Amino acid sequence: MPTPTARVDQARLAKLAREAAANAHCPYSNFRVGAAVLADGKIFTGVNIENSSYGLTLCAERSALAAAISAGAKNITDIAVCCLDAKPDSGLSQLVPCGACRQWFTDLAPEARVYIDGLDQVFTVSDLMPTPFRI
């Protein structure tokens, strides 16, 4: 995948992730998460969708990536994540995507920039997953 060069409006992408989070289905954790990805110039959103069989729960990040891939997107350049119900004093470890989502980033968007709503730092996928699983 080519290295992304065009800059996306980080605040706009974070806003869309925040808006998406309001639609999350999380009756067990009550922790709404939204994600927005920029792929091939289009934005795709996703939310966390919990299931009573916890292992079948779908994270917002994977939901958004699946929407992009399902629409035929090839070049995912930017990913924004919003943990709508995170406490103001939440540490970084409570805001960043889980390991499964990081592995999806590695496989589907290895050169993407990752934005966490509420943080000024821009992460690379390798910042978040320095030693991913590879075949």
- Alpha-carbon distance of 121 to 5, in angstroms, equals 18
Q: What is the H or E stretch that residue 69 is in?
A: helix 60-70
Instruction: Give CA–CA dist 55/126, Å, rounded.
Output: 25
* 3-class SS of residue 33: strand
Q: List residues with catalytic annotation.
A: 61
The secondary structure element, H or E, covering residue 29 is: none
| Residue 73 contacts residue 44 (beta carbons within 8 Å) | yes
